[in-house]
């Protein structure tokens, strides 16, 4: 498996929406309210990624043989790690940790020595294994439901 990490371009946005759709459906649906998940998935289009980048987030994609298999996003000025998703077919093979480590180095390069994020119940142990610390767990209202998330932080 030849993994390549690179900055996302507009032509990737459709693939990013598909990866996020599959990851949410496979990993998060079993843990959260199914109707809220349905509403989340309905709104998942390439346009969302245009908005995210217009707001100043940087997106790094992971490709295998030229196909997008995962991505991470972060806003270095706001010191926030945003999205972190890997296609279910590639989960557990190190793609996620490669992406997260890359995002952390890039944030440091951009002058951001620490960050916070909101982790899903699924992602929290993955963040912890990569050195992120849990700050607070709470219910986040979204998509007409409530999502249990953990605010996490890391000094890089
Ligand atoms: C979270 C996610 C991005 C991780 O990607 P991945 O490719 O599966 O992750 P990796 O295989 O690189 O594993 C990441 C780390 O977690 C560890 N890990 C894997 N499964 C674990 C588990 N069940 N419990 C604890 N740690 C685990 C791995 O050992 C690895 O650490 P290492 O690099 O030090 O060995 C991916 O699983 C995903 O898309 N999940 C669903 C969507 C989601 O919840 N996204 C985050 C929203 S906040």
Domains of the chain, residue spans = 3-113
Q: What is the pLDDT of residue 137?
A: 98
Does the beta carbon of 48 sit less than 6 angstroms from any atom of ligand 1? no
Closest-lying ligand 1 atom to the alpha carbon of residue 27: 41
Question: Could you read off the pLDDT of 46-80 as tens digits, one per residue?
Answer: 999 999 999 999 999 999 999 999 999 999 999 99
Q: What is the pLDDT of residue 1?
A: 82
Reference 106, options 63, 72, 67; nearest CA is 72
Judged on CB neighbours under 10 Å (0-12, 13-18, 19+), 88 is middle
- Predicted TM-score of the model (pTM): 0.95
Does the beta carbon of 84 sit less than 6 angstroms from any atom of ligand 1? yes
Pair 110, 79: CB distance under 8 Å:
no
Pair 88, 114: CB distance under 8 Å:
no
Closest-lying ligand 1 atom to the alpha carbon of residue 83: 47
Does the beta carbon of 124 sit less than 6 angstroms from any atom of ligand 1? no
User: Is domain 3-113 given the CATH code 3.40.50.150 in the classification?
Assistant: no
Does the beta carbon of 64 sit less than 6 angstroms from any atom of ligand 1? no
Does the beta carbon of 85 sit less than 6 angstroms from any atom of ligand 1? yes
């Amino acid at each position: 498996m030849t993994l390549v990490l690179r900055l996302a371009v507009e032509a990737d946005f459709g693939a990013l929406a598909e990866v996020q759709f599959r990851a949410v459906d496979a990993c998060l649906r079993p843990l959260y309210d199914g109707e809220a998940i349905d509403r989340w998935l309905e709104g998942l289009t390439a346009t969302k990624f245009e908005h995210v980048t217009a707001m100043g987030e940087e997106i790094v994609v992971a490709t295998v043989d030229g196909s997008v298999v995962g991505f991470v996003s972060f806003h270095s000025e706001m010191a926030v790690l945003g999205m972190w998703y890997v296609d279910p077919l590639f989960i557990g093979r190190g793609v996620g940790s490669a992406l997260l480590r890359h995002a952390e180095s890039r944030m440091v390069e951009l002058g951001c020595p620490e960050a916070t994020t909101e982790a899903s119940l699924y992602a929290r142990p993955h963040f912890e294994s990569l050195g992120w610390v849990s700050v607070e767990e709470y219910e986040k209202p979204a998509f007409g439901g409530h999502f249990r998330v953990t605010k996490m932080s890391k000094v890089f």
